[in-house]
Chain A
């Protein structure tokens, strides 16, 4: 059991619902409401210093009564530790968790991927949009258990929607003046590019 568990229990007490060791790796299940505070503490505290976020992902079990778990893999490079932090989202509750982007910048794309594949919203994320599928993808969230392997639409419809997506709609404003696709972008993206804001990509 990682020493962080004791420290977490001492500091946060009730927010830590369960802790266990699986194959030498410590997993800690925490309360959704206090997650941001806990991750902030794990990052900042000099005895913890979990400065590297490896992954943000989600687990959905085949038994649809089980809650969906959102998982953060944290690593402490100074102390050479690994910690898995989980939040259980009960069925019927909203799939929303706080974003840790302000603590770890790598959460930017990791959370976008989690949103794209599972539909979990990260509150406080600066630019939560699809990452692996194209932005106007309308079939749903591919890694959910109720999503069929081949997708919901027919092949010709999928192809039609894919071909309708504009691949140049991701470029910066300088590149877009060549590509001529600026008018095709959604309004808020046009505004962001006009103001020179970078999305962090």
Chain B
């Protein structure tokens, strides 16, 4: 679920005597939303190339409703962050996310967007989930188009599970005004710790 405080819709309690009209409306709205996701490709690096491959004719995300890729955040509902995000780009990404109107979702595509990837250094943000709330993480360096499509389908399942009675959905995340972080610094430090053999090619472990 990432660092977003948005709770898992599977755990949200729904009363069983919900009127059928609400469930039908939910089904209809979620069907409409998931099958017409307009992605905003925030492509910065190599993953953007794989995103282009996914959008091209062989793998084709147009059959998922992503016919029109919105390059203006104000007209998009899905931000696909493909590629590494340097610290210099962090306020820009935050601004783009804030410019997107609700309902909006975010896919973090690739290892660099999810965790900083192979770039555990002074310049790369160790995971965009410390800047914006992420719904689906797609691992890979870069993920194959099938992998990205799997991530998109996972997001579609997540959208199907959304309920209009859930008050935590569609809440705009406000960062702390002094630090501009929406997660506590201790959490960011902890998840940015190196793991695996992130900097030493010849060793395993830290």
Enumerate chain A interface residues (CB-CB to B < 8 A): 132-134, 139, 142, 147-151, 154-167
Contacts and interface: CB of A to CB of B under 8 A. Distances in A.
Top 5 A-B pairs, shortest CB-CB distance: A156-B185, A151-B122, A162-B87, A155-B192, A163-B180
A40 B181 CA distance: 50
Contact of B88 (A133, A147, A150, A160): A133
24 contacts: A132-B88, A142-B123, A147-B122, A149-B120, A149-B121, A150-B120, A155-B188, A156-B185, A156-B189, A158-B87, A159-B125, A159-B181, A160-B179, A160-B180, A161-B87, A162-B125, A163-B91, A163-B131, A163-B181, A164-B180, A165-B88, A165-B91, A167-B88, A167-B92
B185 A163 contact: no
B122 A159 contact: no
Contacts of B62: none
B206 interface: no
B130 interface: yes
A155 B152 CA distance: 30
Contacts of A139: 122
Contacts of B91: 162-167
A160 B120 CA distance: 17
B68 interface: no
Interface in B63-110: 87-88, 90-92, 94-95
A163 B122 CA distance: 15
Nearest to A164: B180
Of residues A134, A151, A159, A161, which shows the largest number of chain B Cβ atoms within 10 Å of its Cβ?
A159
A167 to B, nearest CB: 5
B87 A134 contact: yes
Contact of A162 (B90, B120, B121, B185): B90
A160 B185 contact: yes
A165 B181 CA distance: 13
Nearest to A134: B88
A150 B125 contact: no
Contacts of A160: 179-181, 185
Of residues A132, A133, A156, which shows the largest number of chain B Cβ atoms within 10 Å of its Cβ?
A156
B185 A157 contact: yes
Contacts of A166: 91
A154 B189 contact: yes
Contacts of A157: 185
A162 B181 contact: no
Given A134-B88, A154-B185, A142 B130 contact: no
B30 interface: no
Nearest to B176: A160
B126 interface: yes
B90 A159 contact: yes
Nearest to B185: A156
B185 A149 contact: no
A167 B181 CA distance: 17
Contacts of A159: 87, 90, 125, 130-131, 181, 188
Nearest to A157: B185
A113 to B, nearest CB: 13
